[in-house]
Amino acid sequence: MDKTLERAWNLTPAQREEYAKYLMPAYRKQGGFPLKGAKGIYLEDQDGRRYMDFTSEMFACILGFGNEEIAEVIYEQAKGLTIVAPLHQTDLRYSLCHKIAQIAPENLDRMSFTVGGGPAIESAMKIALKNVPGSRNFVSLQGGYHGTTFGAANATFLTSRLHEWGEANPELFHFAGVLSNNCIRVPRPYPYRSPFSGSEEEMAEYYANMVRDTILNGVPGPTAGVIVEPVQSAGGQIEFSKLYLQKLRKICDEMGTLLIFDEFQTYCRTNRFFAAQYYDVEPDIITFAKGLGGGIPAAGILIHKRLRGFENLMEDMQTFQNNHIAYAAALKTIEIIERDHLLENVETVGAAIKDRLKIMQERYPEIGDIRGPGLAIGVEMVKNPESKEPLSNETMQELFHAAIKQGLFYQLAENVIKLKPPIVITLEEANTAMDMLEASFEAVLCK
């Protein structure tokens, strides 16, 4: 290892404590265990213990950690062009654009890149405003998470949940008030907790009509776009039905607004590259981030061929958007996914995990709902299946730490366990992880 890296990765306990003061308070909090390294689907702590990572580190490292092929192309590209000014063209840039257009829905064939997910949402919002004359506002769904940059936070559920922040963070009241000014939220279809009883078709119609009514009666002037995650992540790992998404498509066409799919967390989580293909719905704009670069920052938007794109650099210029290290990593990531049939693996392993969870559900009635396509799985925990009262935060934390003790790391969305491992996970590894999860259930729920 390079001496600079070796020194940086081997601090004494006293140095860690001293150096931590330079981080802002939010970033000093411990997130489960202190990391030292990673390989495959495993994280390693400073004591050398390994943990299966079912978060893929914010769902970005879809090929796991320490992939030698990704490392090699990063190294090769880093020896030459790394960051290129936005208006400079290269064959690598053209090659990645061509490849993404090949794997994307047929009519979404033009793209621009950004420095992250939040800016990608903002780029999509700019395109929508540009293509819907006179528009100023957007519609998003309750529970949607689209980023925390100023523009993206308008569409994110956090800025409308002031009652949950309380007196501990009074500054967030002002923060939310500034941000929440051009995005109207509508109720989402949440089958497990919907007050509406009816068939899947009736439920899809009911909630889609809420979007139509909001566009007609709740938005001042034309609506620029409807922003939706095909599978909500932070909102509880809630999968929206194909029927509902198709109805949203028809409503947007009827109302002259654009349908924007936020695919940050659904990219390669089904048996298709994009969830739009999995659900057979053609949005007007797709935002992508997280998994595209296999753990290297890569984000941007795809737009429909009928739309006007950015025509002046100043409409959406970012110094680091023409990131050639990210381009190299993204090209290699796509190549590996296709070569190793990893989308088929997503379907196979995801089905096996859900089958195992259904068996557990028979023993642990606290498993209220199991949902999500492929490797985008949510497990909603309740006190009992009749009342559906959410399992307490205290018990959810007990389960979380019991799983870590077993060697399994996942992310929580309140009372929902999110299981989204790297898509290279094998059936054997998935079975081992389910053994760990079941052991944590046994330790906490049966004591």
pLDDT at 385: 94
Q: Exposure string (b/e) for 185-220, b if CB count within 10 Å is 16 or more?
A: bbbbbbeeeeeeeeeeeebbebbbebbbebbeeebe
> Closest by alpha carbon to 127, among 114, 144, 142, 143?
114
pLDDT at 197: 81
Rounded to whole angstroms, the Cα distance separating 187 from 238 reads 13
Going residue by residue through the chain (447 aa), what tens digit of pLDDT does each one get?
A: 899 999 999 999 999 999 999 998 878 877 677 899 999 999 999 999 999 999 999 999 999 999 999 999 999 999 999 999 999 999 999 999 999 999 999 999 999 999 999 999 999 999 999 999 999 999 999 999 887 776 776 677 655 555 554 455 655 555 555 555 688 999 999 999 988 788 999 999 999 999 999 999 999 999 999 999 999 999 999 999 999 999 999 999 999 999 999 999 999 999 999 999 999 999 999 999 999 999 999 999 999 999 999 999 999 999 999 999 999 999 999 999 999 999 999 999 999 999 999 999 999 999 999 999 999 999 999 999 999 999 999 999 999 999 999 999 999 999 999 999 999 999 999 999 999 999 999 999 997
pTM (predicted TM-score): 0.94
> Closest by alpha carbon to 270, among 340, 378, 351, 373?
373
Rounded to whole angstroms, the Cα distance separating 175 from 177 reads 6
Question: For the chain, what's the residue count?
Answer: 447
pLDDT at 145: 86
Strands 183-186 and 377-381: unpaired
Rounded to whole angstroms, the Cα distance separating 221 from 244 reads 25
pLDDT at 29: 76
DSSP string, 277-333: HHTT---SEEEE-GGGGTTS--EEEEEETTS----SGGGS--TTSSBHHHHHHHHHH
pLDDT at 118: 92
Q: Is the dihedral of CA 139, 145, 151, 153 positive or negative?
A: positive
Q: Is the dihedral of CA 28, 34, 36, 41 positive or negative?
A: negative
pLDDT at 120: 96
Q: What residues does 65 pair with on adjacent strands?
A: 40
> Closest by alpha carbon to 379, among 353, 341, 349?
353
Tally the C-alpha atoms within 13 A of residue 388's C-alpha that lie toward its C-beta: 9
- Residue where the block lists tokens 């990531």: 333
Tens of pLDDT, residue by residue over 126-158, are 999 999 999 999 999 999 988 777 677 667 765
Rounded to whole angstroms, the Cα distance separating 241 from 317 reads 36
pLDDT at 176: 53
DSSP string, 167-211: GG-THHHHHHHHH-SSEEEEPPP-GGG-S--S-HHHHHHHHHHHH
Going from the N-terminus, what domains does the chain have, and what CATH number goes with each? 3-60+341-445 (3.90.1150.10), 70-339 (3.40.640.10)
Q: What residues does 44 pair with on adjacent strands?
A: 37, 50
